[in-house]
Amino acid sequence: MTRFFTLWKREVASYFVSPVAYILATMFLVVMGVGFWFLANVRLMAGATFYDLLRALYGGVAWFAVLMVIPVLSMRSFAEEKRSGTLEMLLTAPVRDGEVVFSKFLGIFTVYVVMWLPTLAYYPLLANAANQEMVFDYGALASAYVGVFLIGGFFLSIGLFCSSLTQNLISASISSFAVISLIFLGGFLPAVSPIPGIRTFTEPLSPILHMLEYSRGVIDTRSVVLYLSSTLLMLLITTRVLESRRWRA
Amino acid sequence: MIDVQHLTKKYPGGVTAVQDVSFSVAPGEVVGFLGPNGAGKSTTMRILAGYLSPTGGEVKVNGMDVTRNSLEVRERIGYLPETCPLYPDMRVREYLRYRADLKGLSRRHRSAGIERAMEQCGLVDVQKRLIGQLSKGYRQRVGIADSLVHNPDLLILDEPTIGLDPNQIMQVRKLIQDLSSSHTLLISSHILSEIEASCSRVIVMNRGQILESATIEELSKKWSPGSAIVVEVKADHADVDAALRVLPDLKRIKVVQEGEWARAELGFKSDDDQRENVFSCIQEQEWSLRELHAKHHSLEEAFVSMTTEATDA
Across the interface, of A6, A92, A247, the residue whose CB is closest to B98 is: A6
Q: Is the pLDDT of residue B312 over 70?
A: no
pLDDT on residue B313: 43
- Residue B106 at interface with chain A, using a CB cutoff of 8 Å: no
pLDDT band at B301 (very low <50, low <70, confident <90, very high): low
Say what the pTM is. 0.84
* CA B217 to mean position of chain CA atoms: 14
Residue in chain B closest to A4 (alpha carbons) equals B102
pLDDT (tens digit, 9 = 90+) per residue, B250-267?
Answer: 888 888 888 889 999 888
Do the chains contact at A92 and B75, CB–CB below 8 Å? no
- Residue A49 at interface with chain B, using a CB cutoff of 8 Å: no
pLDDT on residue B149: 93
Q: At what angle do helices B92-102 and A2-17 cross, to 10 degrees?
A: 150
Do the chains contact at B89 and A18, CB–CB below 8 Å? yes
Do the chains contact at B85 and A94, CB–CB below 8 Å? no
pLDDT band at B152 (very low <50, low <70, confident <90, very high): very high
pLDDT on residue B248: 83
CB pairs under 8 A between A and B: 68
Chain B positions in Cβ-Cβ contact with residue A248 (cut-off 8 Å) = 11-12
What is the complex's ipTM, to 2 decimals?
0.88
Could you give the CA distance from residue B65 to residue B48 in angstroms, rounded to a whole number? 10
By percentage, how much of chain A surpasses pLDDT 90? 71
Q: Taking a C-beta distance cutoff of 8 angstroms, is the pair B204, B237 a contact?
A: no
Q: What is the CA radius of gyration of chain A?
A: 19
Query: How close is the nearest chain B Cα to the Cα of A35, in Å?
Result: 35
Do the chains contact at A84 and B85, CB–CB below 8 Å? yes
Question: What is the sign of the dihedral through the CA atoms of A91, A97, A102 and A105?
Answer: positive
Nearest 5°: the CA angle B224, B198, B138 is: 135
Question: What is the sign of the dihedral through the CA atoms of B179, B180, B184 and B189?
Answer: positive
Q: Taking a C-beta distance cutoff of 8 angstroms, is the pair B208, B21 a contact?
A: yes
pLDDT on residue A42: 80
Mean pLDDT for the stretch of residues B196-220:
84
Mean pLDDT for the stretch of residues A102-117:
96
Q: Taking a C-beta distance cutoff of 8 angstroms, is the pair B260, B234 a contact?
A: yes
Residue B191, sorted as left (phi over 0), alpha (psi -120 to 50) or beta, turns out to be: beta
Query: How close is the nearest chain B Cα to the Cα of A237, in Å?
Result: 19
Query: How close is the nearest chain B Cα to the Cα of A246, in Å?
Result: 4
Alpha helical stretches, state H, B122-165: 136-148
